[in-house]
Amino acid sequence: MARKKGRNINGWLIVDKPAGVTSTSVVNKLRWALDAKKAGHAGTLDPDATGVLAVALGEATKTVSYITDALKCYDFTVNWGAETTTDDASGEVVRRSDIRPEAAQIEAALAGFTGEIMQVPPAYSAVKLDGERAYDLAREGEEVELAARPLWVESLSLIEADGGTARLEMVCGKGGYVRSIARDLGRELGCLGHVAGLRRIWSGPFDVEDGVAFERIDREAQAWLEERLLPLETALEDMPMLRATPDGARRIRNGNPGEVTGTAEWGQAVWVSDAEGPVCIGRYQGGTVQPERVFNL
């Protein structure tokens, strides 16, 4: 008997992920609940983290990279006085300190963690080392040494501090690890630290206030979930939109350059629509667009 392939459902659904659930589990649950043929998420959240997990369905998966590259906002709490193997509360303590920073000291240190910084990912991360995931090597007891990589931190601010902990908010670009920020900030202050709580508030155009609670996914009818789908072009709001002519849309859908109305800079990434909806993402070439991702809606 042939395996059922699922339904063609296109769009984004924002889930408010709870702690203790993996990002992959959320995607699988949503795909099952909607009987969707294809699904994926834009940006992994650690199992203990909560907040925005943007799940792309169907043709929206072709826009995932544009959300992965977008700025994201995190609200997190750091516990001072201990560094752990995982840089969060789930790991074993490996170093301790009796030092506790004052709010003014924390504020002064934050400037060194904004703008273009170099960050070493946690040993327990999905970064690949010699073809293997760092967390797999770390769990096997191997020494994991990851190279520093650039990270754009738009802002890092102190919300509150009570001596033993500090609550901060960070807006950063692609590839940022809040656990590394907590670890490195603790080292900079001489007090050591690790993440005690982490919540993603927004990711690109997607806000946690628009998120569906994970517990409701298998409780609600498919129609209820489908009503909360956002169109796939939501992920493209920062990209210029051009309109295809009828013949241009036909040519683009066949993978060829097609005529469009409107203008952009030569070679700029744009998305194209027609009366039926999104047609493609492509490069503007002076009156035409060379398609890179064609939407089959």
Q: What is the dihedral of CA 245, 246, 248, 251, to 10 degrees?
A: 170
**Could you identify the residue written with the tokens 């792309």?**
56
SS3 assignment for 146-182: CCCEEEEEEEEEEEEECCCEEEEEEEECCCCCHHHHH
Q: Is position 46 annotated as part of the catalytic site?
A: yes
Tell me whether residue 52 is exposed, middle or buried, using C-beta atoms within 10 angstroms of its C-beta: 0 to 12, 13 to 18, 19 or more: buried
At 26 the three-state DSSP class reads: helix
Which residues neighbour 37 within 8 Å (Cβ) at sequence distance 6 or greater?
A: 5, 6, 7, 8, 9, 58
The catalytically annotated residue of 16, 46, 184, 274 is 46
Q: Which letter does DSSP use for residue 38 in this model? A: -
Catalytic residue ranges: 46
